[in-house]
Amino acid sequence: MQKMKWSVIAFAVAAASTQMAVASQQSESNGFIEDSKLDVHARTLYFNRDQKNNKPRSAQSYSEDFGLGLKAIYESGFTQGTVGFGVDAFAMTGIRLDSGRGRNGNGQFPTRDNGKPETTYGEVGGAIKARISNTTLKYGEQFVDLPVLSMDDARLLPESTTGFLVTSEEIDGLVLHAGHFTAINALDQTGRDSANGGLLRSIDLAGARYNFTDDLSAAYYYSDADLGHKGVNREKAKKQYLNVNYVHPIADDQSVTVDFNAYSTRFQDKEAAADRTSKNNIRSLSVAYNLGAHTFTVGGQKVEGNHAGGYDYGYDGGGAVYVLNDVQYYWFGAKGEKSYQARYDLDFAQYGIPGLSFMTRYVRGSKIEGADGRRQGKNWERDTDIAYTVQSGAAKDLSMRVRNATYRSNSAAIEGGARTDVNEVRFIVEYPLSIL
């Protein structure tokens, strides 16, 4: 009887071990070619921006352009075995359909020395990858979207970054990341290290997200960046990010979502005669109430610290601001700024029009600190977004989106580092196609 008991236990352990092995991503690999994917994506973007009070008056205040972006991404499967190997590759090209000297300036096309935008531009890149169990290492050019390193994709073609990234999902509900990157290619450039004039020399990052339950998750990320243009003082930027997200179900078609985001960054001038450190903290809290097709969101955001530029946006990728009020035109991250948002979303699927959605929001900021130390800067932004995605037929997944933004600020806000007034319209048509 005892022998049979231990045999059953041994069999159960062996079965569990086999099940874990079978459940791992690598053990389920079908092969390099068999699991390959090839996706093609086309995007047309009309972009109109009118900066109402651009100063000095001699500066260009109106920009308008229209282009086509084509992107092909190939992702191989992994070879079979304990350790699997594979490759990823991409090719992208942007085509200018309309724009010219005097109207260029929306960050869609490379600009020649004479101010005229290029007719076409493109980029190719790739990465090698290896996987063991549920852990993948990728090295090369890639698209990364993490709170402390996020590639911007708000124009024709996305940014890309060069380095390595480890992604591990060995524990159910837990995703770990670690990486080291040395370059970011800009949205409107094709050269290596072209974003922000090569400001980012290198960045190390690590972090994780854990789902405690289906309704509660938290994330923490840390990065250490080495910054500095050629001939300019070198600077270190150490950043921490924290997120807590909780969804409270009320009924089948009702829920409340609470989302908290916070960044804490320390900048240290490495070449100053004395140790000079500046700091910046930015945090936001939002509460969203979902009632069937309707979602109502309110929230606030605050910037603290003595860093002259407020939240230093962009050195770690143009999309890396996971806070509430990083909206269409402005991110409300000037020095000392406090801002509040009210937002409404409507999903028309429940009214018989699946694929159609509407969003509008209003953000108001104040307490922006100017060079004189006075906190009299104020600004606001109003956004409207209407989108439709074709649900079936030959044009399935074709999407169309109209985005409108109106932004206004007083002179004290501009002096404190905020943006000039602007009216902006974007019309975007996208068509993704899966080849493999």
Q: What is the CATH number of the domain that holds 150?
A: 2.40.160.10
- Indicate whether 18 belongs to any domain: no
- Indicate whether 75 belongs to any domain: yes
- Indicate whether 153 belongs to any domain: yes
- Indicate whether 150 belongs to any domain: yes
pLDDT > 70? residue 78: yes
Do 60 and 142 belong to one domain?
A: no
Report the DSSP beta bridge partners of residue 218.
210, 244
Confidence at residue 18, expressed as pLDDT on a 0 to 100 scale: 38
- Indicate whether 19 belongs to any domain: no
Two tokens, residue 174? 């837990």
Do 409 and 310 belong to one domain?
A: yes
pLDDT > 70? residue 100: no
Two tokens, residue 65? 């352009």
Confidence at residue 220, expressed as pLDDT on a 0 to 100 scale: 98
Whole-angstrom distance, CA of residue 149 vs CA of residue 130: 21
- Indicate whether 184 belongs to any domain: yes
Do 272 and 237 belong to one domain?
A: yes
- Indicate whether 330 belongs to any domain: yes
Confidence at residue 111, expressed as pLDDT on a 0 to 100 scale: 84
- Indicate whether 39 belongs to any domain: yes
Do 280 and 408 belong to one domain?
A: yes
The closest of 75, 157, 90, 82 to 120, measured between CA atoms, is 157
Do 206 and 334 belong to one domain?
A: yes
**Which domain-ending residue is among 129, 156, 172?**
129
Do 124 and 233 belong to one domain?
A: no
pLDDT > 90? residue 233: no
Confidence at residue 230, expressed as pLDDT on a 0 to 100 scale: 65
Do 88 and 148 belong to one domain?
A: no
Two tokens, residue 289? 């109430």
pLDDT > 50? residue 3: no
Compute the average pLDDT of residues 230-257: 91
**Which domain-ending residue is among 108, 129, 150?**
129
Do 163 and 104 belong to one domain?
A: no
Do 63 and 154 belong to one domain?
A: no
Range of the domain at 145: 130-434
Backbone angles phi and psi of 393, in degrees to 5: 85, -170
Whole-angstrom distance, CA of residue 368 vs CA of residue 376: 6
Confidence at residue 128, expressed as pLDDT on a 0 to 100 scale: 98
Whole-angstrom distance, CA of residue 78 vs CA of residue 132: 10
HEC per residue, the chain: CHHHHHHHHHHHHHHHHHHHHHHCCCCCCCCCCCCCEEEEEEEEEEEEEEECCCCCCCCCCEEEEEEEEEEEEEECCCCCCCEEEEEEEEEEEEEEEECCCCCCCCCCCCECCCCCECCEEEEEEEEEEEEECCEEEEEEEECCEECCEECCCCCCCCCEEEEEEEEECCCCCEEEEEEEEEEEECCCCCCCCCHHHHCEEEEEEEEEEEECCCCEEEEEEEEEEEECCCCCCCEEEEEEEEEEEEEEEEECCEEEEEEEEEEEEEEEECCCCCCEEEEEEEEEEEEEEEECCEEEEEEEEEEEECCCCCCCCECCECCCCCCCCCCCCCCCCCCCCEEEEEEEEEEHHHHCCCCEEEEEEEEEEEEEECCCCCEEEEEEEEEEEEEEECCCCCCCCCEEEEEEEEEEECHHHHHCCCCCCEEEEEEEEEEEEECC
Report the DSSP beta bridge partners of residue 131.
84, 136
Question: Which range, 103-117, 194-208, 250-264, has the best average confidence (pLDDT)?
Answer: 250-264
Do 223 and 285 belong to one domain?
A: yes
Pairing mode, strands 375-389 and 254-269: unpaired
Confidence at residue 12, expressed as pLDDT on a 0 to 100 scale: 39
Do 119 and 171 belong to one domain?
A: no
How many domains does the chain divide into?
Answer: 2
Whole-angstrom distance, CA of residue 149 vs CA of residue 145: 6
pLDDT > 70? residue 369: yes
**Which domain-ending residue is among 96, 111, 129?**
129
Do 353 and 371 belong to one domain?
A: yes
pTM summary value: 0.90
Two tokens, residue 312? 């230093």
